[in-house]
A and B are shown apart, each in its own frame.
Chain A
Amino acid sequence: MGHESRAAIRRDAAAMAGYAGAFGASFGAVSVASGLTVWQTMVLSLVMFSGASQFALVGVIGSGGAGLAAVPTALLLGVRNAFYGVPLTRILGRRALSGPRRLVTAQLVIDETTAMAVGHDEEPAQRYAFWATGVLLFLLWNAGSLAGALGGSAIGDPATLGLDAMIPAAFLALLWPRLRTAEGRWVAVGGALVATVLIPLVPAGVPVLAAAPIAVVAGLLPRRGREVTR
């Protein structure tokens, strides 16, 4: 991987971490407004480190839910990170996942790092994208959370700046190379359709999980042009 592509990956990772920082600030403000302390907010950003789960947890607490009632939703939204671990294990290689390093690597397995890794073709670039995004995003998400928790209502709504549009746009951009094949396109369209249909029917977090079986079916189907053994 050339010097140039590393710089390009760092730039993309910084852009992603930049808007994550803005959402971290928004999270910090919402969390404190929901009745959590600054310390509780920061434990979430440092240990949970998964935006959807964090917003869901403080949302339930803020709407008056008993503390533990908020846990299942947060966990359900976190299950997809377990699924991401499977392709990332292969991409990251044994060294990143041996012994204590695995404990650190695991914490960085989120939507953004997975998307940045699969958005590249070659393994070295995929690995570099995972680490660059993971480290930068962890730093800015937590810095943003702290600023938001301390600054409270002074923090504006990221939606005013259109930052919420960056999230689907970024994931689409990173998926783009995977849509070059017919199989990739079918799997993506299938996943999006299943999730959309399920949005009003199932709890938050489930629509994304429900897309996983489509990947399983696509992976297990014999491919055209491939010799089918047996």
Chain B
Amino acid sequence: MTGVWVAVIVASVGCYLLKLAGVSLPPSVLERDDVQRVATMLPVAMLAALVAVELFDSAGSLGLDLRLLAGVGAGVVALVLRQSFLVVIVVAAVVTAVLRALT
């Protein structure tokens, strides 16, 4: 078996086991009040961080694609105007694509 196959299998199984570990906490831990409050806030903090990484990570250094930022900004405007999820993501993509085609 080549090195690439070893990497593919080890990393794939490892990633799966990480997912499995996350959904394997015993109820005695999960039912604790403080754990529940942390669990509610966990995705808020991490998904907000993920948005920041999507916007500002340019191959490991800080970078900014203004067309992408403008597109996502347009999506936020749609959000403020109470548009649906579908409208928000389509607006973001279309504005970004148009700006990329023009510049």
B14 shortest CB reach to chain A, Å: 5
B47 shortest CB reach to chain A, Å: 5
The answer to whether the Cβ of A12 comes within 8 Å of any Cβ in the partner chain is: yes
Which residues of A, 78-113, contact B by the 8 Å Cβ criterion?
A: 78-90, 92, 94, 97, 102-103, 105-107, 109-111
**Chain B residues near A97 (CB, 8 Å)?**
23
**Chain B residues near A92 (CB, 8 Å)?**
23
**What 1/0 flags go to B29-46 for Cβ under 8 Å of A?**
010001111111111111
A-B Cβ contacts below 8 A, count? 309
Dominant SS at the A interface? helix
Are the CB atoms of B22 and A81 closer together than 8 Å?
yes
**Chain A residues near B90 (CB, 8 Å)?**
166
With contacts A208-B46, A215-B41 known, is A169 near B57, CB below 8 A? Answer: no
The answer to whether the Cβ of B102 comes within 8 Å of any Cβ in the partner chain is: no
Are the CB atoms of B71 and A165 closer together than 8 Å?
yes
Interface size class for chain A? 35 or more
Dominant SS at the B interface? helix
Are the CB atoms of A78 and B85 closer together than 8 Å?
no
**Chain B residues near A57 (CB, 8 Å)?**
7-8, 11
In angstroms, Cα B87 to Cα A12, docked, is 10
B63 shortest CB reach to chain A, Å: 9
- State which of A165, A190, A215 has its C-beta within 8 Å of the C-beta of B68: A165
With contacts A75-B15, A162-B96, A172-B72 known, is A86 near B49, CB below 8 A? Answer: no
Report which residue of B4, B6, B44, B50 has the largest number of chain A beta carbons within 10 angstroms of its beta carbon. B44
